[in-house]
Chains A and B, each alone.
Chain A
Amino acid sequence: MSQEPLLDQFIESLRCLPGVGPKSAQRMALHLLERDRNGGRHLATVLEAAMERIGRCSRCRNLTEQETCAICANDQRDRSLLCIVESPSDVIAIEHATGYQGQYFVLMGRLSPLDGIGPAELGLDALADRLAGQPPGEMIIATNPTVEGEATAFYLQRMARKHDIPISRIAHGVPLGGELEFTDQSTIAHAFSSRQRVES
């Protein structure tokens, strides 16, 4: 502690960032104060604006500063495809890695009863309304291959089936460039059980 209240508070505040301990917080604060005041002022303005203005999309619950996010508002995107993901970072990952041109629904979590998160807490009634009101031609379930992700996927499948919506799951398996020998058991098991027939 430097006995400079504002400086101490600044350093302490930076520790709310993931992976930032006391040492890195101090380094960041000193860097901005000593070498990059303009960068620091800019960060402060943007940070403030982002915290005030970024909310959730009314259709898909992804992060946006508008009422509906850019993806939902885009007329060029295929409204018959609906991809369900756990978090906004999953949307970013799919957008960067694939040519997917459909829409999303962001769960903002997953079913985890032992943490007190059931269907109601996850707000799945909003998704149910959407499936009833504007049923997509296909629902793509892209939850993570964890126990909670699997439970969520099955629950979603049941919801879709009620509205006769065709369902697909993204495949989980051996990464491209990965060798079986160095792939962990559970990944191999998953890849093996979801193997696909090859046209001969």
Chain B
Amino acid sequence: MRFDLEPAYILHTRSYRESSLILEAFSREQGRVALVARGARGSRSRWKNMLQPFRPLLLSWSQRGEMGTLTAADQVAAPPSLMAEPLFCGIYANELLMRFLQRSDPHPGLFDRYRDLLGELAGGRAPQAPLRLFEKHLLEAAGFGLLLDREPGSGEPVEADAWYQYVPESGPQKRAASGSDGDLLVSGSALLALQSGVIAPRHHRELKGLMRHLIAHYLGDRPLKSQSLFYES
């Protein structure tokens, strides 16, 4: 099978043999794919410096079996300028995609969200809201869509001024705000903000805690490594 000029981002590269690379790429139409880029590490490679994360690329490859072979790569625009904290956020997003997406499972909508996220991170916007929304869409694409606007079972609508415990794989359950016994409580208004996509700064802390909890739940005993970048050493 041949694929031509597919919009894609590279999520990760690793060295392969003497002068080649194995790319983990996220393509718009084919989803996550693993590609061998022969000779890409050679000093005269035509792809020198291009096969890096966050660059908007058009990739062409041929595929038989699990691993494809890169045949052409073009950079379609200047890479978003990710430095400092936004760079860490981008690496975090790449790790999420690597961990949650199966190979060759297309997610064009999520691809567009990812492209927008990189633009927002590079644009100097506070990363919290774009990251939370990206996490929400990623979980949805991976088959773990979140119930945010009503309680499971009863179907009671979530109330902005009530408190909820979010039960993974189920949904929000109303709790007395004072009865915090170590359970993660989140306000109804934060849940509704995540649902609507309009997240205010006052929701950042709660929603970060909520998403971290849910992502850890789905990833099991192999936690994300890129979170360690954000901690002071």
Across the interface, which residues of A come within 8 angstroms of B18, CB to CB? 18-19
Q: Contact check, B52 vs A186: say whether CB atoms are below 8 A apart.
A: yes
Interface flags, B49-67, vs A, CB<8A=1, else 0: 1101111000000000000
Chosen A-B contacts, 23 in total, with CB atoms closer than 8 Å, are A113-B92, A113-B95, A113-B228, A113-B229, A114-B91, A114-B226, A115-B12, A117-B225, A118-B228, A119-B229, A146-B52, A147-B52, A147-B91, A151-B88, A151-B229, A154-B85, A155-B233, A185-B78, A186-B49, A186-B50, A186-B75, A186-B79, A189-B78
Given A184-B49, A186-B50, A189-B78: A113 and B84 within 8 A (CB)? no
Instruction: Name B47's closest neighbour in chain A (CB-CB).
Output: A184
Assuming A116-B225, A118-B228, A187-B49, is B233 touching A128 (CB within 8 A)?
A: yes
The one of A19, A115, A159 in contact with B233, judged by C-beta atoms closer than 8 angstroms, is: A159
Residues of A within 8 Å of B94, CB to CB, are 114
In the complex, how many residues of chain B place their beta carbon closer than 8 angstroms to a beta carbon of chain A?
33
Contacting residues, chain A, for B81 (C-beta < 8 A): 193
Contact of A113 among B50, B54, B55, B91 (CB under 8 A): B91
Report whether A147 and B14 are in contact in the complex, using a CB–CB cutoff of 8 Å. Answer: no
Closest Cβ neighbor of B54 among chain A residues: A147
Measured in the bound complex, the distance between the Cα atoms of B78 and A187 in whole Å is: 11
Given A119-B229, A159-B233, A147–B50 Cβ distance below 8 Å? Answer: no
Chain A positions 110-160 with a Cβ under 8 Å from a chain B Cβ: 111, 113-120, 124-125, 128, 146-147, 150-151, 154-155, 158-159
In the complex, how many angstroms separate the beta carbon of A170 from the nearest chain B beta carbon?
Answer: 16
Pair A114/B54 contact, Cβ less than 8 Å: no
Minimal beta-carbon separation of A167 from chain B (angstroms): 13
- Closest chain B residue, CB of each to CB of A150: B87
Against A, the Cβ 8 Å flags (1 = close, 0 = not) of B200-233 are 0000000000000000000000001110110111
Q: How far is the CA of A159 from the CA of B232 in the complex (A)?
A: 8
In the complex, which of the residues A118, A154, A193 contacts B87, with contact meaning CB atoms closer than 8 Å? A154
Known pairs A113-B228, A124-B233, A147-B52; list 17 more (Cβ under 8 Å): A19-B18, A113-B91, A113-B95, A113-B225, A113-B226, A113-B229, A114-B225, A114-B226, A116-B225, A118-B229, A119-B231, A120-B228, A125-B233, A151-B229, A186-B49, A189-B78, A193-B81
